[in-house]
Amino acid sequence: MQQDYIIEVEDLCFTRGEKMIFDHLNLKVPRGAISAVMGPSGTGKTTLLRVIGGQLRPDSGKVLLNGKNVCTMGREELFRARRDIGMLFQTSALFTDMNVFENVAFPLRVHTSLPEDTIRDLVLMKLNAVGLRGARDLRPSQLSGGMSRRVALARATALDPDLIMYDEPFTGQDPISMGVILTLIHELNDALGTSTLLVSHDIHETLSIADYLFVIADGKVIGEGTPDQLKANESKRIHQFMHGDPDGPVPFHYPADDLRFDLLSEVE
Amino acid sequence: MVSFLRRIGNRVLFRLEGLGRATMMWGLAMATLPRKGDMTLLFRQIYSIGVLSIAIIVLSAFAIGAVISLQFYTQLSRFGAEDAVGAGLALVLLRELGPVVTGLLFAGRAGSAITAEIGLMKTTEQLSIMEMMGVDPLRRIVAPRLWGGIISMPLLTAIFNVVGIYGGVVVGVYWLGADAGGFWSGMQDAVDVREDILKGMLKAAIFAVVVTWIAVFQGYDCEPTAEGMGRATTKTVVTSSVMILALDFFLTLSMYGDF
């Protein structure tokens, strides 16, 4: 029986040094939908993706991926489970010793036994979808930031995974690329039945694409729902974030002493 | 006093933790079974670690062999013992300088390159994305470099020994005029395959494991920043060099010490 949720995070606690990143966080990502995690900087959105991917182990709690707890998986089991996940990092993380074509072909070569001409066709189709078929022979150092992102996106979708996680996919994109990426995320999700989890600051784009949203702050989910539900949410914190207000319950400043005290104190 | 002891304790714990992580990395990398395409990765590493180091090994070996021959000839000719030049040259190279100098050069050229390469891959999240694709970086990145280093360095040592002896012949026999027959027969009499050649190669194999392990671990464990990479590369060269010299003393003691 197919489950309703592809990811279920239960009572997740995670600390980094002295700082509590997640404090009994709970969220459930619906299968087949585009879900988004939003929140102010430093709230642990990227960390959440890494915990879901099993790259970081939480202090306590469960992360169920397709019903299996990622936190208790052994090394081999974890690597097997990750084959069903595609991930786009903020930094693109292209392999610098390979050209664009080889970067996209990498997961296909490692995880499948497809003949070379099939791999070639698949890679060219993926590159065509992100508008970079003509850049197949370029090295990563010859690409702009936005182009690198699109190559990384093509690579993340190469194996048509069950779940694709995007870390800030809209950052650094020009308006045309932005439109292409929005369309692509939508099409991948609908055509392949993929589930999508993206974290982003870009409220406008995220609201336009997401079926379901989570807003996290202070280590917890402070609001969730459809875009319309969140827009109508009367919580001051969610209102501040959705409208980008500098004043409100979510502090803009990192905790510090009074500015006057700092300015008048002696240089150490 | 208490804070001093605490500092020492923390430092010891930090070192032990590092050793534990290094051992874990070594064990996991070595335990991975080879898969389709792994041999290609290994040959690529043998090329970049080993083949590309041949030039520096050959140049250094020739110069060192030539200098040793010159020094031996100058001293021994005072006693009319020029025939012992070949024996002395071969023993010094096969037992000590071959493995030690090759190890030091290997740490400087290939070790630092391994650390910088893996460190950069970590800094640019290439290792992380590989993990997220379900590809184990210990199998794909670490294991081929470990095996590449372990295979390459003893071979480089053998090349060093041969070229070093040739350098000694050029200076001792062709230039200074030592008798070629005496030179070669003295060398043949003095060198024992097991005692000199095999034990020297055993040293080279041990140094290969140590240097490659240090180089790979420093890259894999480095702080993912520009400063972190710089520190890791320096640590690779310094730690490897010190380890080679220290280990050489103990290995020589256990192999040739007659106490």
Closest partner CB to B133 (pick from A75, A94, A107): A107
Judged against a pLDDT cut of 80, whether residue A248 lies above it is answered with no
* Interface mutation target, options A57, A84, A96, A119, chain B, most CBs of B under 10 Å: A96
Contact state of A75 with B136 under an 8 Å Cβ cutoff: yes
Q: What is the β-pairing status of strands A212-217 and A163-167?
A: unpaired
> Which is nearest to B197 in space by CA: B152, B162, B248, B166?
B162
Positive or negative, the CA dihedral A148, A164, B132, A54 is positive
- pLDDT of residue A87 exceeding 80: yes
pLDDT at B36: 65
CA B121, chain centre distance (Å):
24
Q: What is the pLDDT of residue B164?
A: 96
Task: Give yes or no for residue A1 having a pLDDT over 50.
Answer: no
CB A89 to CB B129 under 8 A?
A: yes
Q: Is A95 within 8 Å of B126 when comparing Cβ atoms?
A: yes
Residue B33 — pLDDT band, cuts 50, 70, 90?
low
> Given the structure tokens 């096969």, which residue do they identify?
B94
**B34 pLDDT band (50/70/90 cuts)?**
low
The dihedral region occupied by A225, where left means phi > 0, alpha psi between -120 and 50, and beta the remainder, is left
Residue A60 vs residue A4, higher pLDDT: A60
Rounded mean pLDDT, B49-72: 95
Show residues of chain B in contact with A55, CB under 8 Å.
128, 131-132
* CB within 8 Å: B134 and A53: no
Alpha-carbon distance A89 to A199, whole Å?
10
Helix, strand, coil % (nearest 5) of chain A? 40, 25, 35
Cα B234 from Cα B219, distance rounded (Å): 11
Mean pLDDT of B122-134: 91
Of A37-41, A66-70, B87-91, B168-172, the range with the lowest mean pLDDT is A37-41
Are B87 and B189 spatial neighbours (Cβ–Cβ below 8 Å)?
yes
Write down the pTM of the prediction.
Answer: 0.84
> Is the model more confident about B250 or about A145?
B250
Q: Given an 8 Å threshold on Cβ–Cβ distance, is B132 in contact with A55?
A: yes
What is the domain partition of chain B in residue ranges? 1-31, 41-256
pLDDT score of A256 more than 50 = yes
Give the A-side interface with B, CB within 8 Å.
53, 55, 75, 79-83, 85, 87, 89, 91, 93-96, 106-107, 109-111, 152
Q: What is the reported pLDDT for A237?
A: 79
CA distance A178 to A169: 9
**Does pLDDT of A253 surpass 70?**
no
State the average pLDDT for chain A: 86
Residue given tokens 């308006």 in the structure block:
A175
Lowest mean pLDDT of A61-65, A235-239, B5-9, B226-230, name the range. Answer: A235-239
A93/B133 CB distance under 8 A: no
Q: Between chains, do B124 and A81 touch, taking CB under 8 Å as contact? A: no
Residue A172 has pLDDT above 60, yes or no: yes
Q: Which of B24, B28, B132 to mutate to test the interface with A (most CBs of A within 10 A)?
A: B132
Q: For the residues of chain B, what is the DSSP string, one character each?
A: -HHHHHHHHHHHHHHHHHHHHHHHHHHHHHHSPP-TTHHHHHHHHIIIIIGGGHHHHHHHHHHHHHHHHHHHHHHHGGGT-TTHHHHHHHHIIIIIIHHHHHHHHHIIIIIHHHHHHHHHHHHTTHHHHHHHTT--HIIIIIHHHHHHHHHHHHHHHHHHHHHHHHHHHIIIIIIS---HHHHHHHHHHH--IIIIIIHHHHHHHHHHHHHHHHHHHHHHTS-SSHHHHHHHHHHHHHHHHHHHHHHHHHHHHHHH---
**What is the ipTM score, two decimals?**
0.83
Q: B126: pLDDT confidence band, cut at 50, 70 and 90?
A: very high
Alpha-carbon A53 to chain mean position: 10
CA separation for the pair B120, A216 (Å, rounded)? 32
Between A and B, how many residue pairs show a Cβ–Cβ distance under 8 A?
A: 51
The residue that leads in pLDDT, A59 or B256, is A59
Within A72-231, residue ranges assigned H as helices are 75-82, 100-111, 116-129, 145-156, 175-192, 203-209, 227-231
Decide if pLDDT at A30 tops 50: yes
pLDDT average, residue stretch A10-29: 89
B241 pLDDT more than 70: yes
A268 pLDDT band, cuts 50/70/90, is low
Confidence of residue A252 (pLDDT cuts 50, 70, 90): low
* B37 in reach of chain A (CB within 8 A): yes
CA–CA min distance A151, chain B (Å): 13
Mean pLDDT of chain B: 91
pLDDT at B107: 95
What part of B 115-174 touches A (C-beta under 8 Å)?
120-121, 124-126, 128-129, 131-136
Rounded Cα–Cα distance for residues A76 and B31 (Å): 12
Mean pLDDT in residue range B78-101: 91
**pLDDT confidence of residue B242:** 97
User: What's the rounded mean pLDDT across residues A220-246?
Assistant: 82
User: Which residue type does A190 have?
Assistant: D
Cα A151 from Cα A113, distance rounded (Å): 22
Whether pLDDT at A2 is above 60: no
Q: Which residue of A has its CA nearest to B131?
A: A79
**Which tokens belong to A37?**
């995690």
How many Å separate Cα B75 from the centre of its chain?
Answer: 31
